[in-house]
Amino acid sequence: MVTYENLHDTLSFYRIDCRQSYYISSGNPIFNFPKAPFRMDYYALCICTAGEISIEIDSKKYKVTTHSFFIAAPSTIVRFLETSKNFMMKLLFFDKNFLIKNISNPFIIEKMNLFSKGSYSIIKTTEKNSLQLQNLLDYLKKKSRKQGKFTEEIIRTIIFNLLLETAEIIEKEINTVSQKEEGKKDLFLKFSKLIRENIRQQRTVQFYADALCISNKHLIEIIKKASGKTPHEVIDETLLKEAYVMLGNPDITISEIAFELQFNSVSAFGRFFKKQTSYSPSEYRTKENIQS
């Protein structure tokens, strides 16, 4: 079993050589999907235009139906499970650095509250809203085919418009929060981003509290309020995601994984993984038929 660790590897499954900072699909039917889980290395917006698909996101299973959409931040782990015969989708991948070029606020995407589940959202919306997003994607596809002096700026503007329209739909679908709660949400998103960037080296709550310039106690209160979990639980979940991805690569030994994830020993890694999943790392590989 091969693990697609990033978008470029995933798109190569479809013989797509994507070297740009964004990719817009054709919307044509897809009959084959990677069986292995993969980690998103771009931001992604996927709209189901027909049929339905069952997917696993960060180890949780969902069914995405017609006029539903899925939006995710980098590091989200996705696995395709099953699709209906008539399944079709339109999707956009883009790099954050491309989008925020010349933008002074590096957290502009986070402030849109696009990710109701930490690093992703799955929203069932109306046909009207779905078509509005699809039309923007079609316009984006059309403009991306033409290379001109202002093409990049036009592409950025359309993507921003698409994200804002998406954020507005999400806001209507979920409960809105007060300004105070919004601030807590921003801090949770910053906390999540810091964990994704540092998980292989840093696992202490103190490190992240210091990085966010707040006390341990305040961080615990905010994360518990925003996610219902403790910072330790969020850190462990992110670490488990890394372990899943690495275990999916049969060329990496369990000893190497334990070393890469900064465990003191292979047995310490094994205890952590079994506590989180009820399987040992080797049992997980056997169950998933991951063999070197």
Residue 250's CATH number: 1.10.10.60
* Interior/surface letters 91-107, b for 16+ CB within 10 angstroms, e for the rest: bbbbbbebbbeeeeeee
232 and 210 in a single domain? The answer is yes
187 and 168 in a single domain? The answer is no
What pLDDT, on the 0 to 100 scale, is given for residue 13? Answer: 61
**140 band by pLDDT with thresholds 50, 70 and 90:** very high
> What is the number of structural domains in the chain?
2
Any domain includes 292: no
91 and 233 in a single domain? The answer is no
What pLDDT, on the 0 to 100 scale, is given for residue 119? Answer: 86
The predicted model gives 30-37 an average pLDDT of 73
Any domain includes 97: yes
For residue 288, pLDDT beyond 90: no
**How far is it, in rounded angstroms, from Cα 18 to Cα 25?**
11
Any domain includes 279: yes
What pLDDT, on the 0 to 100 scale, is given for residue 8? Answer: 62
**How far is it, in rounded angstroms, from Cα 27 to Cα 215?**
48
> Is the Cβ–Cβ distance between 220 and 188 less than 8 Å?
no
The predicted model gives 220-225 an average pLDDT of 87
pLDDT tens for 174-203 read: 754 455 566 667 788 889 889 988 998 899
283 and 220 in a single domain? The answer is yes
What pLDDT, on the 0 to 100 scale, is given for residue 177? Answer: 45
What mean pLDDT is reported for the chain? 85
**149 band by pLDDT with thresholds 50, 70 and 90:** confident
120 and 211 in a single domain? The answer is no
Any domain includes 253: yes
pLDDT tens for 61-105 read: 999 999 999 999 888 888 888 999 899 999 898 888 888 876 777
**How far is it, in rounded angstroms, from Cα 162 to Cα 180?**
26
Domain with 267 in it:
183-287
Residue (of 154, 169, 146, 47) closest to 98 by Cα position: 154
What pLDDT, on the 0 to 100 scale, is given for residue 42? Answer: 83
In eight-state DSSP terms, residue 63 is E
26 and 168 in a single domain? The answer is yes
